[in-house]
Amino acid sequence: MLMLLRRFALIVFVAGGLLLPMVLTGCASETPAERAANVYASQELAAAPLHGNIPDYSLSPEDLAKSQHLSAVNETMHFVELAWGIVSLLLMLWLGVIAWMRDTAVKASRNRWAQGYLFLLLYLIAGFLLDLPLDLYGHHLSLQHGLSVQGWGSWFGDQAKAFALTWVIGGLLLMLLFWIIRKFSRSWWLVFWCASIPIVLFGIFAAPYVEPLFFHYEPLQKTDPVLVAQLERVVQKGHMNIPPDRMFLMKASAKLTTLNADVEGFGSSKRVVVWDTSIQKLTPDEIVFVFGHESGHYVLNHIVYGVLFTLLILLISMYLGYLFVQWALAKFGGRWGIPSQTDWAALAVLLLAFSIFGALLEPVENAFSRHDEHAADVYGEEAIHGLVADPQTTAVKAFDVLGKTSFADPNPSPFYEFWTYSHPSIGRRAAFGKAYNPWAPGMEPKYFKKP
Ligand SMILES: [Zn+2]
């Protein structure tokens, strides 16, 4: 156990050493104009009541009550889901359910592929059923508050598609993992991590080809050529190479009421996606701002940094997962009916480790994401300077619509924001957007130098 702790300390030290410079460069590069607006936003939030309205983003009394209710429910649900993921897996190990799945798969066929896929199928079915009550409640809540308009039939259809996709692709990963575990009994965590690099890259490349399973897409040029021309001005300003035929309209309104726009994929699959809900609810200037933010992710290489960060997290998780599997099987293998790491049932032990580390690493991942999202906000506001009449007002209005369509909490609890928010809170973004003025005398823009 002491050995384990020492190794864990080493990993944390190395990871910290790699992550810290990333965080520090982020802080050090804060420009004076950016710092001034950040201070303004922090003061505005500090002066407002918790979960209450703030001057730059406020809801009507009814909507505020709704937002407070949603915040409370979501906060509880989030941590209940995390804990349930870990507890339900432990229960299945302890009660011998995982060992039974392995026995069923091994008895059914002598073929390794059939065994692997059958074991995974049983495991995924159990996971689906165990999570179902919370998932049902989550969708019910979205329907009740008008965040979703997707009927139950269509919702179950999407669940089925996602399940099939996880089974087919997860099965391939499972076969690869166990082949590597059998070949490299002590270094499989490193070998599998190396193998996962091209897989992660391919996943990002292929995402734009998978998403049409869930939403309908059409060329933006066809539906809104005026908007395409406006977006192209932002593209040219940022020296990006995204031609109009790589811009798509996603029919989100069939299922959702919330707004979004993003840049996905890379290489030949790279494309810009604007949700039709954004076009319905935002003015052209506001869409240009949202797009400016998205193009910021692209120009500032956030996809590349995101991949590097994901791989780093994966490396740490694989190594700790390897140590956890050795420790857990030595201690509980007999009790759980799992004799060795090459046994199919050992998958559940590795996934148990991942769910524990995942829960602990969540705030780290979100801090990284918030850092990028803030940078994209800065970029977006600078990118639309000169293209819209008033960048500050445009930003505040866009955040207002964005927040109101999802009843976003104007002033969430700092702990919950720190732990779970992938973006700074809408209120913080709106206040920052209002105060950010790098074109004032003595100030400099961060990404677009003054002419
Ligand atoms: Zn973003």
pTM of the entire predicted model? 0.85
Q: In sequence order, what are the residues at sequence separation of 6 or more whose Cβ sits closer than 8 angstroms to the Cβ of residue 298?
A: 238, 240, 242, 263
Per-residue pLDDT, 208: 84
Query: Would you tell me how many other CB atoms lie within 10 Å of the CB of residue 400?
Result: 18
1 pLDDT band (50/70/90 cuts)? very low
Looking at residues 133-160, what average pLDDT do you find?
88
pLDDT confidence of 24, banded at 50, 70, 90?
Answer: very low
Question: Above pLDDT 90, what percent of the chain?
Answer: 66
Collapsed DSSP state (helix, strand, coil) of residue 49 = coil
Expressed in angstroms and rounded, the spacing between residue 275 Cα and the centre of ligand 1 is 14
What is the CA 352 to chain-centroid distance, rounded?
Answer: 20
Across 13-28, average pLDDT:
52
Give the distance (Å) from ligand 1 centre to CA of residue 293: 6
C-alpha 275/C-alpha 123 separation (Å) is: 35
CA atoms of 70 and 295, how far apart (whole Å): 31
User: Considering only CA atoms, which of 126, 394, 426 is closest in space to residue 283?
Assistant: 394
Taking only the tens place, the pLDDT of each residue in 353-406 is 999 999 999 999 999 999 999 999 999 999 999 999 999 999 999 999 999 988
Q: How far is the CA of 413 from the centre of ligand 1 (A)?
A: 21
Average pLDDT for residues 41-65, to the nearest whole number? 94
Distance 343 CA to ligand 1 centre (A): 42
Taking the centre of ligand 1 as the mean of its atom positions, its distance from the CA of residue 422, in whole angstroms, is: 9
Q: What is the pLDDT of residues 76-98, one digit of tens each?
A: 999 999 999 999 999 999 999 99
Distance 259 CA to ligand 1 centre (A): 12
292 Cα to the center of ligand 1, angstroms: 10
Give CA–CA dist 88/102, Å, rounded: 17
Instruction: Give CA–CA dist 348/94, Å, rounded.
Output: 11
Structure tokens at 434: 């209002």
CA distances from 209 to 167, 203, 248, 265, 270 (A): 18, 10, 13, 9, 11
CA of 192 to the centre of ligand 1 (A): 31
Distance CA(112)–CA(123), nearest Å, equals: 16
DSSP SS3 for 388 = strand
Cα–ligand 1 centroid distance for 435 (angstroms) = 19
Q: Is 424 a residue whose pLDDT tops 80?
A: yes
φ, ψ of residue 446 to 5 degrees: the values are -85, -40
Which pair of tokens denotes residue 211? 């998403």
Write down the mean pLDDT value for the chain.
89
- Compute the distance from residue 83 Cα to the ligand 1 centre, in Å: 28
